[in-house]
A and B are shown apart, each in its own frame.
Chain A
């Protein structure tokens, strides 16, 4: 149903997609919305392609985003951005981390990494925000905070109050990692 917001978070197992979706879900809950989200753990965690779905609004039934209906896709890796492109709705926003991780078929030479994913998406007229979030994360203390940098970019596209984001980050992160992640989040927002 169009009045709900649907966001897809795609990446590679181990990149922190699940944590990002958890924080986003908490923020929507704090805003008094119905929330559903879906993720898959297990075998795909081991370096495989992973995707989590987050949906919020007045009343949400399905925890899954249907193809052609994502308002925003947040991709942690360029190939994964292309893979989940069919989920993006017309005029939806693609937020993509400019990182390329070679999948095993590419490493073994059985397949090729696609050429210029960001250029291909821009060429299709897709609204796109491409950013090297790992580099920004590294600047703030840890390249692995790329997921929170991307959340900062996402926050600018959604109209939730800042304190909900701060609270959700506080509730989801270990105390010793909080300051660094808050800085990473703000760096994302500043882009």
Chain B
């Protein structure tokens, strides 16, 4: 009897890689892709690793593939931008062992700075794109991707979206294939991409494109589900999660469900179109399929009715398809709703967060802050509202330098960059070298909580552990900075508010580049849980100074501050900002609080 497990899309991809005989897997954490490598790392026979960034991960997987092993690199959509350089040329060389790049896209930007559609990378790099629509397909398509990769001598993109990565479904568990590493033979015309060789390889890529186009017409990854009745005259061409929503709405319609998204097979599309009265292309984000289908001369509807922003859903499709005259039941009116205005509950810095002290200080000094990607992007939210910019991994440092070049010394004296330790290792180091080399005077703050926190506490080159939790060399940020020629390096505890302020003043005034390392471990990672603090109601004057910390445990009602003992982790920061010393720490305070109850 087949054994089934309830797996997320990410767990299923990891299982697929294991069953396919993958030997090397590398990634940089990024939502919604992170759990792929975390799960792969649990299979003993696979070498799994966190790399400092996606380009590095991709190149490690490329090298492993050329040397004959099946390999995998996984990353979030914006990570593929970082890895695009090796990706586009690896398309030319082709593979040794099969190689799959998992691109986890994030429509609706649940945890991202943009919602780019990475299916375009298939067209750009001329490599096949597979897209599963649930966990079962996530595993099956991963295995299929390795077959395609080796049959057609090409890397393959497995493109997923958040609702597939983080949704769970039943997955059939199968036996893993043998771990087979192909023989390696040095082959410069294939793998040394000097212009002369690359010209020859480009020809191979175009031939491969034609062969893949033919394959797209035959593979079971693309399937037609013939509908019935009047609804069966409606033909949807769709892929990924959109397919699942449509099956809920119009189960009897006809479907061309694509799992192999690039290249498309013209005959398959045209035959399907001819079998129905109307064709509607339903895809999230960009009209990637629609544009190609229209270029074939097939009449279809698509982005004229389907939204181009955010995620689709049953509700969204019911509404837009209904408006377009399709026989979907009118959008279900919600039966119940509150008549009150409900406050939002945006994400916030955790109780005890090491970043809180630094943002409090930056806010009180009214500085310009060039921000970066990580938990500390939450420094942009009230009550801090600190950040001037957040663009991409590493851009805090280089962005601050650019601002300095544009606006001069006076601006630089009021401007800092903030970047986390993991993001610094990812792509902050080169920016720092740029400032040293070009003799800038920027003030850079590394918020070093010694973990990759936002994505769920993955280790990194500074944390002293590898992906399996084993001891690993920890890169010393101070020594690294010293070695590239930075003379002003300061280490502070971000909760030591007085020292932070003094150090910031000194370094902002210094006419050369400064590096301030604000070091304190992530409270969530070390599970900080000291006895909760307590507000002495007699001493509290209700000045709300403590609310400037933006701590979820603190609130002021009826003119007095109070601390929620269920939320407070006893980090000890709020007593430092209380002008009347009304906030008490320690066991005694906790007991006192209990008696008062």
Q: Footprint of B on A, CB under 8 Å?
A: 1, 12-14, 22, 25-26, 29, 34-49, 60-64, 66-69, 79-80, 82-83, 85-90, 92, 101-108, 110-115, 117, 120-121, 124, 126, 134, 143
- In the complex, which residues of chain B have a beta carbon less than 8 angstroms from the beta carbon of A48? 345-348
Give min CB distance, A56 to chain B, whole Å.
10
Instruction: Determine if B4 is an interface residue (Cβ-Cβ < 8 Å).
Output: yes
- In the complex, which residues of chain B have a beta carbon less than 8 angstroms from the beta carbon of A46? 347-350, 375, 378, 454
- In the complex, which residues of chain B have a beta carbon less than 8 angstroms from the beta carbon of A35? 6, 168-170
Give min CB distance, A101 to chain B, whole Å.
7
Pick the interface stretch among B53-61, B283-291, B331-339, B442-450. B331-339
Give min CB distance, A190 to chain B, whole Å.
23
- In the complex, which residues of chain A have a beta carbon less than 8 angstroms from the beta carbon of B342? 79, 82-83, 114
- In the complex, which residues of chain B have a beta carbon less than 8 angstroms from the beta carbon of A124? 336
**A38–B332 contact, CB under 8 A?**
no
- In the complex, which residues of chain A have a beta carbon less than 8 angstroms from the beta carbon of B333? 68
Task: Among B244, B383, B454, B547, point to the contact of A63 (Cβ < 8 A).
Answer: B244
Given contact pairs A43-B347, A47-B345, A68-B333, a sample of 20 additional A-B residue pairs in the complex whose CB atoms are under 8 Å apart = A13-B347, A37-B6, A41-B31, A41-B456, A43-B31, A43-B110, A43-B111, A43-B378, A46-B349, A46-B378, A60-B169, A62-B248, A62-B314, A63-B167, A63-B241, A83-B345, A102-B555, A107-B550, A113-B343, A126-B336
Query: Contacts A48-B347, A120-B339 given: A67-B110 contact, CB under 8 Å?
Result: no
- In the complex, which residues of chain A have a beta carbon less than 8 angstroms from the beta carbon of B241? 63
Give min CB distance, B264 to chain A, whole Å.
24
**A38–B334 contact, CB under 8 A?**
no
List B residues 380-429 near A (Cβ within 8 Å). 381-383
Query: Contacts A67-B315, A85-B337, A104-B381 given: A42-B163 contact, CB under 8 Å?
Result: no
Closest Cβ neighbor of A25 among chain B residues: B6
Give min CB distance, B78 to chain A, whole Å.
13
Closest Cβ neighbor of A90 among chain B residues: B335
Query: Contacts A43-B111, A46-B350, A85-B336 given: A66-B168 contact, CB under 8 Å?
Result: no
Query: Contacts A29-B6, A64-B163, A107-B555 given: A42-B134 contact, CB under 8 Å?
Result: no
- In the complex, which residues of chain A have a beta carbon less than 8 angstroms from the beta carbon of B166? 38-41
The 3 closest A-B pairs by CB, nearest first: A42-B111, A86-B334, A42-B31
Closest Cβ neighbor of A49 among chain B residues: B345
Give min CB distance, A162 to chain B, whole Å.
20
User: What mask results when residues 1 to 45 of chain B are scored 1 for a CB within 8 Å of chain A, else 0?
Assistant: 000101000000000000000000000000110000000000000
**A108–B6 contact, CB under 8 A?**
no
Instruction: Determine if B455 is an interface residue (Cβ-Cβ < 8 Å).
Output: yes
User: What mask results when residues 345 to 361 of chain B are scored 1 for a CB within 8 Å of chain A, else 0?
Assistant: 11111100000000000
Instruction: Determine if B268 is an interface residue (Cβ-Cβ < 8 Å).
Output: no
**B550–A104 contact, CB under 8 A?**
yes
**B336–A37 contact, CB under 8 A?**
no
User: How many B residues touch A, CB cutoff 8 Å?
Assistant: 60
Query: Contacts A25-B6, A46-B350 given: A63-B168 contact, CB under 8 Å?
Result: yes
Task: Among A42, A63, A86, A115, point to the contact of B340 (Cβ < 8 A).
Answer: A115
Give min CB distance, A64 to chain B, whole Å.
6
12 CB contacts below 8 A, A to B, read A12-B345, A13-B347, A25-B168, A36-B169, A38-B163, A46-B350, A88-B334, A104-B345, A104-B381, A108-B383, A108-B550, A134-B566
**B167–A106 contact, CB under 8 A?**
no
Task: Among B245, B314, B338, B375, point to the contact of A120 (Cβ < 8 A).
Answer: B338
Give the CA-CA distance A153 to B332 in the complex, in Å.
Answer: 28
Closest Cβ neighbor of A86 among chain B residues: B334
Task: Among B318, B335, B554, point to the contact of A107 (Cβ < 8 A).
Answer: B554
Give the CA-CA distance A43 to B153 in the complex, in Å.
Answer: 38
Give min CB distance, A11 to chain B, whole Å.
10
User: What mask results when residues 559 to 572 of chain B are scored 1 for a CB within 8 Å of chain A, else 0?
Assistant: 00000101100000
Closest Cβ neighbor of B456 among chain A residues: A41
Query: Contacts A25-B6, A67-B315, A111-B343 given: A42-B455 contact, CB under 8 Å?
Result: yes
Instruction: Determine if B313 is an interface residue (Cβ-Cβ < 8 Å).
Output: yes
**A47–B343 contact, CB under 8 A?**
no
- In the complex, which residues of chain B have a beta carbon less than 8 angstroms from the beta carbon of A38? 163, 166-168
Query: Contacts A46-B375, A68-B332 given: A34-B339 contact, CB under 8 Å?
Result: no
Instruction: Determine if B344 is an interface residue (Cβ-Cβ < 8 Å).
Output: yes
**A79–B169 contact, CB under 8 A?**
no
- In the complex, which residues of chain A have a beta carbon less than 8 angstroms from the beta carbon of B31? 41-43
Task: Among B334, B375, B552, point to the contact of A102 (Cβ < 8 A).
Answer: B552
Query: Contacts A68-B333, A107-B552 given: A40-B162 contact, CB under 8 Å?
Result: yes
Instruction: Determine if B588 is an interface residue (Cβ-Cβ < 8 Å).
Output: no
- In the complex, which residues of chain B have a beta carbon less than 8 angstroms from the beta carbon of A63? 134, 163, 167-169, 241, 244
**A66–B339 contact, CB under 8 A?**
no
**A114–B334 contact, CB under 8 A?**
no
- In the complex, which residues of chain B have a beta carbon less than 8 angstroms from the beta carbon of A45? 347, 456
**B344–A67 contact, CB under 8 A?**
no
**A86–B336 contact, CB under 8 A?**
yes
**B349–A105 contact, CB under 8 A?**
no
- In the complex, which residues of chain A have a beta carbon less than 8 angstroms from the beta carbon of B552? 47, 101-102, 104, 107
Instruction: Determine if B294 is an interface residue (Cβ-Cβ < 8 Å).
Output: no
Give the CA-CA distance A39 to B162 in the complex, in Å.
Answer: 9
Between B4, B455, B552, the greatest number of chain A beta carbons within 10 A of the residue's beta carbon is seen for B552
Between A47, A60, A110, A124, the greatest number of chain B beta carbons within 10 A of the residue's beta carbon is seen for A47
- In the complex, which residues of chain B have a beta carbon less than 8 angstroms from the beta carbon of A39? 166-167
Give min CB distance, B254 to chain A, whole Å.
16
- In the complex, which residues of chain B have a beta carbon less than 8 angstroms from the beta carbon of A22? 168
Give the CA-CA distance A117 to B338 in the complex, in Å.
Answer: 8
**B382–A105 contact, CB under 8 A?**
yes
Give min CB distance, A68 to chain B, whole Å.
4
Closest Cβ neighbor of A144 among chain B residues: B566
**B340–A120 contact, CB under 8 A?**
yes
Closest Cβ neighbor of A120 among chain B residues: B338
**A26–B6 contact, CB under 8 A?**
yes
Between A35, A43, A48, A108, the greatest number of chain B beta carbons within 10 A of the residue's beta carbon is seen for A43
Give the CA-CA distance A80 to B342 in the complex, in Å.
Answer: 9
- In the complex, which residues of chain B have a beta carbon less than 8 angstroms from the beta carbon of A102? 552, 555, 564
- In the complex, which residues of chain A have a beta carbon less than 8 angstroms from the beta carbon of B248? 1, 61-62, 66
